[in-house]
Structure 1
């Protein structure tokens, strides 16, 4: 087996093990919150932010009004809105500050992370756990061989695509109709 094949085997097995062990009821609760919200905001930092930006774009493609915190056209958050926080540890300072601020405006806060007992839990109304090595080790916990926290960002991105697919199915959206939401100035 080539080094490339070994590496891709590790990646795909880790991602499959992670996503297979995400609790469906947590994902369903997040979808319900997305459907209920007027606007959906996303906050994270670094590579997590990149995954969240892709999720925001994917949800925009299916008609959800999405914003990434800090973008130039970001509107005010209200009590009718949802903030989705991506933070593996739940301890990253910028997302914690933004979640606290969102709660001051009575917005709903959802946290996608690895540790349900993190500092973010004081702000989160709902939590989706990606069972990746963290303080909370369960039989489902995946210990990654990848550098840094790559498995978290990869799983987060694919969780977002899974959510979009579930929403398309739940709403019986015709896939060809989604092109009206796709960028056309490209």
Structure 2
């Protein structure tokens, strides 16, 4: 097997193992939170933020009002809204500060991460665990051969696409109709 094929197989095997070990009840609960929120905000840093921006865009395509914290057109968060925090460790300072602030406005907070016992747990109403290697070291954790935390960011992005597909199926949305929400100034 070539180096490319070997690397591709390792990555896709890791992603499959990770996604199949995310608790479906937690994802269903997140889907409920997204559906009942007036607006859905996203916060993260680095490559996690890039995955969250892609999720926000995908959900916007299916009619959800989404905002990335810090964007110039970000409105005020209220008690009718949801903040989705992406932080593997749950210890990254900027998302912790923003989650604390969101709770001050009585918004709901969902944390997608690896560590259920992190500092973020004091602000989270819902925790969705992406079971990759972490300090918690549980049997379902996937040990990654990829650099840094690539598996977390990849799994986060695909979890977002999974949620979008679930919404499309639940709402019987015709896929062709989604193009009306796609950017057209390109």
Taking structure 2 as the reference length, the TM-score comes to: 0.99
TM-fit CA distance, 1:180: 1.1
State the alpha-carbon separation in 1 of the partners of residues 70 and 110 from structure 2. Answer: 18
- Residues 123-145 of structure 1: per-residue CA shift (max 9 Å, x gap): 00001000000111222100110
- Residues 78-134 of structure 1: per-residue CA shift (max 9 Å, x gap): 000000000000000000000000000000000000001100000000010000001
State the alpha-carbon separation in 2 of the partners of residues 175 and 147 from structure 1. Answer: 35
C-alpha root-mean-square deviation of aligned residues, in Å? Answer: 0.5
Q: Is 1:135–2:135 an aligned residue pair?
A: yes
TM-fit CA distance, 1:10: 0.7
Please list, as runs of the form range in 1=range in 2, the aligned pairs for 1:17-166 lying within 5 A after superposition: 17-166=17-166
What SS does the corresponding residue of 2:85 show, helix, strand or coil? Answer: strand
- Residues 4-57 of structure 1: per-residue CA shift (max 9 Å, x gap): 011001100000000000000000000000000000000000000000000000
Q: Which residue of 1 aligns with 2:177?
A: 177
State the alpha-carbon separation in 1 of the partners of residues 34 and 136 from structure 2. Answer: 27
What SS does the corresponding residue of 1:144 show, helix, strand or coil? Answer: coil
State the alpha-carbon separation in 1 of the partners of residues 162 and 138 from structure 2. Answer: 23
Mean Cα deviation higher: 150-159 or 130-139? 130-139
Q: After TM superposition, which residue ranges in structure 1, 4 or more long, deviate above 3 angstroms?
A: none
What SS does the corresponding residue of 1:142 show, helix, strand or coil? Answer: coil
State the alpha-carbon separation in 2 of the partners of residues 15 and 136 from structure 1. Answer: 19
Mean Cα deviation higher: 82-91 or 138-147? 138-147
State the alpha-carbon separation in 2 of the partners of residues 41 and 110 from structure 1. Answer: 10
State the alpha-carbon separation in 1 of the partners of residues 63 and 164 from structure 2. Answer: 10
State the alpha-carbon separation in 2 of the partners of residues 44 and 123 from structure 1. Answer: 15
Give the gaps of 5 or more residues in structure 1. Answer: none
